[in-house]
Structure 1
Amino acid sequence: MYLKRTLESYVVKVSDMFPVLLVTGPRQVGKTTLLKRICDANRQYVTLDDPNNVRLAREEPLLFIQRFKPPVLIDEIQYAPELLPVIKAYVDKYQTRGLFWLTGSQQFHLMKGVSESLAGRVGIINLLGFSLKELQRKAQESEPFLPVENFLEKFNSTYYTLSLEDLYEIIWYGSFPVMWELPKNSDWGDGEGYGDGQGNGHGDGRYVIKKSGMDRDLFYASYVQTYLQRDVRDLANIENITIFLKFLQSAAARTGQLLNMTDMARDV
């Protein structure tokens, strides 16, 4: 079952303003799921995770665009940066908004190519994992922060109260959608939520999703391994992945602290 995201309406707004929409963010935060959820039936979908598609996109980018004509959603655009100049030429010719929806996970190379090829033609949105309001099915009530009187009071009043145990569990399991699921066969009503009294519904029953069956340690170990093998090796010629993993762990352990490179170097 799909969980509504705060950025849904903003994605549509940006698509109506630019010929190209790019949704970036870490792997597995729901970029493709979000765009598939809100796109029209006439928009084609193609993923560059498919070896045949990525080969065509790299070797014959013009033929690729002819085969997958806009409006189109191209998933994992970072695997075929050769498409970007062709997309630029296409949108310059047709001058139509919302032609291309793109997703990408590798920020550095992707953003470099986008800034060079699609400047002024692309609206960029960064999607992260579930927010607390999304977990509580209150995505539509999220508002941008404004430094005005009573904002925090009004902002906090829209959240359901969480126990310390619930809050710790959210932090511990993280915000990746795969770690959470909506309970099946539940009468949702209007924000009534779910709770079974056994730790799966959280607190007083107003917390509206529960932990999935995904093993937390296995998921994050696999996630880091994928990051090291696919992303880090593409960005830099790192010979010793083990040392880089130690650096990654050292940086993560210091979240929220002032950066101290000397201290981190001792760990590595």
Structure 2
Amino acid sequence: MAYIERAISSILKKRASESKCLLLTGARQVGKSTLLKHQFADYNRVSFDDKMTRMQAKEEPKLFFLNNPRPLFIDEVQKENSILEDVKLLIDESEERGQFIFSGSQKLELMKGMSESLAGRVSVMELSGLSLREIKGVHFNKHFVPTDEYLKEREKELADYDDIWEIIHKGSYPELYDVDRDWQDYYSSYVDTYLERDINELIAADSITFFKFLTAVAARTGEILNYANIASDVGVSEPTIKNWISILERTGIVFLLQPYSSSALSRAIKTPKIYFRDTGLACYLTRWLTADALKNSAVTGNMFETFVVSEILKTYSNEGIDYRFSIFYYRGKDKTSSRENEIDLVIEENGVLYPVEIKMTGNPKAIMGGANAVLDKIPDKKRGLGVVLCLTDKKMYLRENLVALPISYI
């Protein structure tokens, strides 16, 4: 099986050398264990997927650490995070860096254990599925923000994405690019083996109800989250759906994009939008079985938007940056009319707000940035260059402060 070089690698090694311990989170099968084994081959390694190993770590931690000396990589650490108290004692005895590396697929459970036991001692990073840059061998590794500096740097290493619908449909799990694996077989196994097994430890539901829930959420990727709507489809209570959505977010299956909040935008919607982190999984759950069928379907716009949002998030996490405080969306009504304005993404950086529209068109128009002026109402913030990310084949200015970009610029 060929190893695909991951963009996060150099930053991961740097963080490990600077911190006493490092935590790499991410959904199942995005390549955490493979990455860490390649980059830290000199580390001893154990996995808490193994029950006997977990039992020893829980009941005889001193013996566990004698059998598994530092530097140590513990995979799926959330399955027995009581060990973190003992880790704290060990790392406090030494100033040595890079003593422990942890990985796991249940982000907030891990963070809870880390915040209670290892506050200030652990560096946290996130690994997503393969990015377009990784799939195409592009080495540029800066997060997407449409400044002049970013655009000039990005233009030095652009790649053609002429098979974009094949990639959107295929998804981003590394195994699909490592070996010639049947698409339906892979995702069927993924749902059965990983999602039902791992998430059913957290969700008390029979497999049919759970699959209905996954399908109902996948069918709404790219939409404003409506718990009541999903609850009606699945046949469970709204509080149950809220809990289950939270679990999907914690395990890296979905992302909740928060609305931009400002007192100046008093009529803005306060509800998040929901996106699947992997478009291949969303296609499988909603039964779009070929790239051609997807491309010509009624969901192409939402799936394209889901893909672009996911790619932008990857540019942040692969650079070791927390995107949660930088990327939002806006939807609201203008006080002077009943018209609703929407901006697909609002990227905030250094006091500047960059409006981004995501359009599945090869013929972008200036009107697509018509809502951007609403950001001028926000005090103490400047509006930066607006962007229309679309299927155009070249960069094209639509107005002085609005540019259409091919998605190769992400």
Question: Which of the five TM-score ranges fits, normalised by the shorter chain?
Answer: 0.7 to 0.9
More divergent stretch after superposition (28-37 vs 107-116): 107-116
Describe how 1:126-165 pairs up with structure 2 within 5 A. 126-138=126-138, 140-149=139-148, 151-152=150-151, 154-155=153-154, 158-163=157-162
**Aligned counterpart for 1:174 among listed residues 133, 155, 171:** 171
Which residue identity lines up with residue 151 of structure 1 in the other structure?
Answer: Y
- So what's the TM-score if we normalise by structure 2? 0.54
Q: Larger C-alpha radius of gyration, 1 or 2?
A: 2
Q: Which residue in the other structure is 1:3 paired with?
A: 4
Displacement of 1:180 in angstroms is 0.5
1:264 aligns with 2:230: yes
1:78 paired to 2:78:
yes
Q: What is the CA deviation profile of residues 156-203 of structure 1, one whole-angstrom value per residue up to 9, with x for unaligned ones?
A: 55231122xx1111111111010013xxxxxxxxxxxxxxxxxxxxxx
The structure 2 residue matched to 1:219, chosen from 177, 186, 205, is 186
2:30/2:127 contact within 8 Å kept: yes
Whole-angstrom distance in 1 between the partners of 2:188 and 2:78: 23
Counterpart position of 1:59: 59
Aligned match of 1:111: 111
Bigger Cα displacement from structure 2, 27-36 vs 44-53: 44-53
- The answer as to whether partners of 1:228 and 1:241 remain within 8 angstroms in 2 is no
* CA–CA distance in structure 2, aligned partners of residues 26 and 247 of structure 1: 18
Q: Match of 1:49, SS?
A: coil
The alignment partner of 2:28 has SS state of coil
Q: Which residue of 2 aligns with 1:235?
A: 202
Q: Name the CA distance, whole Å, in 1 between partners of 2:28 and 2:155.
A: 30
Deviation at 1:67, TM superposition (A): 1.4
Q: Give the CA RMSD over aligned residues.
A: 1.8
Q: Which amino acid aligns with 1:75?
A: D
- SS state at 2:222 partner: coil
Pair 1:69-2:84 in alignment: no
For residues 212 and 83 of structure 2, what CA distance do their matches in structure 1 show? Answer: 36
Distance 1:261 1:227 in 2: 24
Q: Which has the higher contact order (CA 8 A, sep 6+)?
A: 1
1:246 corresponds to which residue? 212
SS of the residue 1:22 aligns to: strand
Displacement after TM superposition at 1:84 (Å):
0.7
| Structure 2 residues without counterparts, runs of 5 or longer | 235-410
Match for residue 30 of structure 2? 29
**TM-score relative to the length of structure 1:** 0.81
Q: Which residue pairs with 1:101 in the alignment?
A: 101
SS of the counterpart of 2:11? helix
Q: Helix, strand or coil: the match of 2:24?
A: strand
**1:2-23, Cα deviation, whole Å (9 max, x unpaired):** 1111111111111122111111
The separation in 1 between residues aligned to 2:135 and 2:122, in whole angstroms, is: 30
The amino acid that maps onto 2:161 is L
CA distance in 2: counterparts of 1:3 and 1:167, whole angstroms? 19
Deviation at 1:48, TM superposition (A): 2.0
- Superposed displacement of residue 262, structure 1: 3.0
* Contact 2:140/2:154 (<8 A) preserved: no
2:18 maps to 17
- Mapped to 2, the partners of 1:228 and 1:169 lie a distance apart of 24
Separation in 2 of the partners of 1:120 and 1:152? 35
- Alpha-carbon spacing, 1:60–1:248, altered in 2? closer, same or farther (3 Å): same
Supply the distance in 1 between the matched residues of 2:156 and 2:214 (Cα, whole angstroms): 37
CA shift for structure 1 position 128: 0.8
How many positions carry a matched residue from both structures?
233
Deviation at 1:56, TM superposition (A): 1.1
Identity %: 39
Match of 2:345 in 1: none
Verify the 8 A CA contact 1:179 1:213 in the aligned structure 2.
yes
